[in-house]
Structure 1
Amino acid sequence: MENKKILTVGIAAYNASTTLTHTLKSLLLSEILNKIEVIIVNDGSTDDTQKIAEKYVLKYPHTVRLINKKNGGHGSVINKLIQTANTPYLKLVDADDTVEKKGFVSLINCLENCQADVVLSPFYLANLKNNKKIEKGYLINNKKNFEDNKICVFKDYYKKLDPALHSITYKTELLRKSDFKVDEHCFYEDTEYALYYFLYAKSILMLDKPVYCYWIGNDGQSVNIENRLNRRNQALNIVLNMISFYENNKENMDRYKKIFYMNHISALIGFSYELLMALPSEKIAKSESKKFDTKVRKISPEIYQYFGNGDMGGRKIAKIIKLFRITNWNGYFIVYKALNSSMVNRIKMV
């Protein structure tokens, strides 16, 4: 008798013919095949992504499904997967990333007896050029950056949580009941996915084994600094969306959720100013920073005033921006000249 499947792994695949096989091989482990479903969403690829996916559907008909759709961006894939997942839990894996066998099997075994709204696990940041792996956690102000198989309530960790798409496994029911949709046809919407759905999350299972392996070093990735700068308007819009999300939902938040969201949004705002300060033109950097600052104030005077008071860093840039606000942005050129190089290096490291 086939065991009940517990986890849906959703794969966002766009022109992923060179990496999809590697991703699938890491997932399709014999010891857990009957416990997972893998949904490959082919987001309008023009290469052999569909053909590769079809081979795996034929080979693993009880585990692998393929959905072909018009290109709508990573966010559209996330929204589609939330609608179509057939198991209690959903984890997203990009078609150029992999999972770690030990951590992945352990995750699935834990999920079989899990009722938590969110499951968090460490992940690896791995470099394609030298295969070096760095372990990343999901907590701040914590020596290990993760906990050892611990169930907690949100209010006990609201100031420590630092979730990312790579560390998150959501309860599918939570995603559907929340009824939020992340932005489509844009990049950096993973920030929305990592934060929106915590609004109604109460219980969290924290694991200690890395599950996800996030491969970086590809010049075409959205986190590449040139791409970040070229797509900065999309990144800034995501931050503005997060501010609007807070304003639209703060009446449904207790004080723990309010502080959680204000801290994260404050950090996102700070990174936005740093990103703009990494631009090669001081004139453009100043102009766009002023416009962004005006939009933040218009959407949420509360967040505008709170900026820099959170526990997630960014206080240095916040002090600078608050001084600019007082002086009508006089002196930006001097600060830009002093910090531009360091901001470029910082963005490269993120």
Structure 2
Amino acid sequence: MKTITFAIPCYNSASYMDVCIESIMKCGDDIEILIVNDGSTKDDTAEKADEWQARHPGIIKAIHKENGGHGSAVNAGLAAATGLYYKVVDSDDWLDEAAMREIMAYLREQATRENPTDMVIGNYVYEKVHEGKRTIMHYRNVFPESKEFGWEDVGHFSQSQYLLMHSVIYRTELLRDIDLKLPEHTFYVDNIFVYVPLPHVKTMYYRDVDMYRYFIGREDQSVNESVMMSRIDQQLRVTRVMIDSVRLPDDVSDRRLEHYMENYLSMMMCICSIFLRMQNTDESEDKREEIWMYLKDSNETLYRRIRRSVLNMGTNLPTEFGRRIGLTGYRMAQKIFKFN
């Protein structure tokens, strides 16, 4: 068995996928790299994937499939993975060599254990390449470092701290045991990937190293503000899946995890509200009301808590004045937390 499977979803990624793959290759020979070509048609992504496989047949495998979106590519990688652990690396991002040397040492230790750690966590870095800036997102105030721990040992997450797909490595069989399947033809499914498995995670390990380099700044990127606004229906779809997949607090055994997951869902509801208010149409206001009613119908107690949360009180005030207050709060948060 390989120590870890790295899945790289690729869609017309020829101009930058090599940097990503080269960074992962430095992790050693006991890894598996799955280049998942998600129906690329506009460049030579498919040919590049095959060339990489031909050069490193014991490590790299090219998977070619019809276009199904990022979630579909993650699903295909998980279905084919042979590694003890599973990590998704987007094709325009890369891994830090020094940080991965420390992470890989721990993962190799787990291969000898009867009960390997469920989730391994590292820092990620927003690389705003066009601006020449970077922002490190760490968890040193949240997790004990360099030892296995459970949710009872977890500290307080700040408002800017969330576990993202970039920062986590899951044990492969844990994801398979819960039959994790991400929606196809939908952006923002990484939120489902990093949220839904959490109640099943019993053991964790955190290393305070800057593991994942998250490229941000391309105009066509899914987290670009105008792109997010145009894809708000997909954000709403993902949020509904998250509401349906985990019932709080019933599905969670630890109060700290419950609090974290409630805050995460609150953030998702806030994003939906903000971008619908940016659209500022009667239809968008109807959609904003619908997603809140969806949460209320599913879990009224949770609805009341999230609606009254710091994130959502200001973003959902009635009238045009309330809308402007919500958008002002969003702009302030952008400057504080350095996102987008």
> TM-score, with normalisation over the residues of structure 1?
0.86
2:43 is the counterpart of 1:43: no
Residue 267 of structure 1: how far off its partner (Å): 2.5
> In the aligned structure 2, how far is the partner of 1:243 from the partner of 1:222?
22
Secondary structure of the residue aligned to 1:24 is helix
Alignment match, 1:327: none
Segment of structure 1 superposing worse, 216-225 or 105-114? 105-114
> In the aligned structure 1, how far is the partner of 2:21 from the partner of 2:101?
15
Alignment match, 2:243: 243
> In the aligned structure 1, how far is the partner of 2:339 from the partner of 2:78?
31
Alignment match, 1:6: 3
2:112 is the counterpart of 1:113: no
Q: Which amino acid aligns with 1:216?
A: I
> In the aligned structure 2, how far is the partner of 1:162 from the partner of 1:349?
13
Show the 5 A alignment for 1:194-209.
Answer: 194-209=194-209
Query: Percent identity between the aligned chains?
Result: 24
Alignment match, 1:315: 310
Alignment match, 1:27: 24
Alignment match, 1:222: 222
> In the aligned structure 2, how far is the partner of 1:251 from the partner of 1:335?
34
Show the 5 A alignment for 1:1-350.
Answer: 5-29=2-26, 32-46=27-41, 47-114=43-110, 115-138=116-139, 142=141, 147-157=144-154, 160=157, 162-247=162-247, 251-256=250-255, 257-279=257-279, 281=280, 283-307=282-306, 315-318=310-313, 321=316, 324=317, 331-343=318-330, 346=333, 349-350=339-340
Segment of structure 1 superposing worse, 333-342 or 233-242? 333-342
Distance 1:55 1:172, change over 3 A: same
- Consecutive unaligned residues of structure 1, counting only runs of 5 or more, are 325-330
> In the aligned structure 1, how far is the partner of 2:245 from the partner of 2:234?
16
> In the aligned structure 2, how far is the partner of 1:242 from the partner of 1:121?
23
Residue 277 of structure 1: how far off its partner (Å): 2.5
Q: 1:72-129: per-residue Cα shift (whole Å, max 9, x none)? A: 1110111112211101011110111111110112111110113210000001110120
Residue 220 of structure 1: how far off its partner (Å): 0.5
Secondary structure of the residue aligned to 1:184 is coil
Contact 1:244 1:300 in 2 (8 A): no
> In the aligned structure 1, how far is the partner of 2:163 from the partner of 2:325?
32
Secondary structure of the residue aligned to 1:163 is coil
> In the aligned structure 1, how far is the partner of 2:181 from the partner of 2:151?
22
Q: Which amino acid aligns with 2:119?
A: V
Q: Which amino acid aligns with 1:66?
A: A
> In the aligned structure 1, how far is the partner of 2:254 from the partner of 2:326?
36
Residue 149 of structure 1: how far off its partner (Å): 1.6
Distance 1:334 1:251, change over 3 A: closer
Residue 151 of structure 1: how far off its partner (Å): 1.6
Residue 211 of structure 1: how far off its partner (Å): 1.2
> In the aligned structure 1, how far is the partner of 2:296 from the partner of 2:203?
33
Secondary structure of the residue aligned to 2:188 is coil
Contact 1:122 1:212 in 2 (8 A): yes
Q: 1:27-80: per-residue Cα shift (whole Å, max 9, x none)? A: 112xx4312111100000012001111111111111110100000111011111
Q: 1:179-220: per-residue Cα shift (whole Å, max 9, x none)? A: 121211100000000111112110000111111100001000
> In the aligned structure 1, how far is the partner of 2:73 from the partner of 2:311?
37
> TM-score, with normalisation over the residues of structure 2?
0.88
> In the aligned structure 2, how far is the partner of 1:202 from the partner of 1:129?
40
Segment of structure 1 superposing worse, 76-85 or 187-196? 76-85
Alignment match, 2:113: none
Distance 1:109 1:51, change over 3 A: same
Residue 320 of structure 1: how far off its partner (Å): 5.8
Distance 1:276 1:26, change over 3 A: same
- Consecutive unaligned residues of structure 2, counting only runs of 5 or more, are 111-115
Say how many residue pairs are matched. 327
Secondary structure of the residue aligned to 1:186 is coil
Q: Which amino acid aligns with 2:19?
A: H
Contact 2:39 2:65 in 1 (8 A): yes
> In the aligned structure 1, how far is the partner of 2:18 from the partner of 2:4?
20
Secondary structure of the residue aligned to 2:197 is helix
> In the aligned structure 2, how far is the partner of 1:336 from the partner of 1:282?
12
Residue 255 of structure 1: how far off its partner (Å): 4.2
Secondary structure of the residue aligned to 1:45 is coil
Q: Which amino acid aligns with 2:320?
A: F
Contact 1:119 1:169 in 2 (8 A): yes
Distance 1:319 1:224, change over 3 A: closer
Residue 159 of structure 1: how far off its partner (Å): 5.2
> In the aligned structure 2, how far is the partner of 1:221 from the partner of 1:234?
15
Contact 1:128 1:215 in 2 (8 A): yes
Aligned Cα root-mean-square deviation (Å): 2.3
Q: Which amino acid aligns with 1:45?
A: S
Contact 2:122 2:168 in 1 (8 A): yes
Q: Which amino acid aligns with 2:299?
A: S
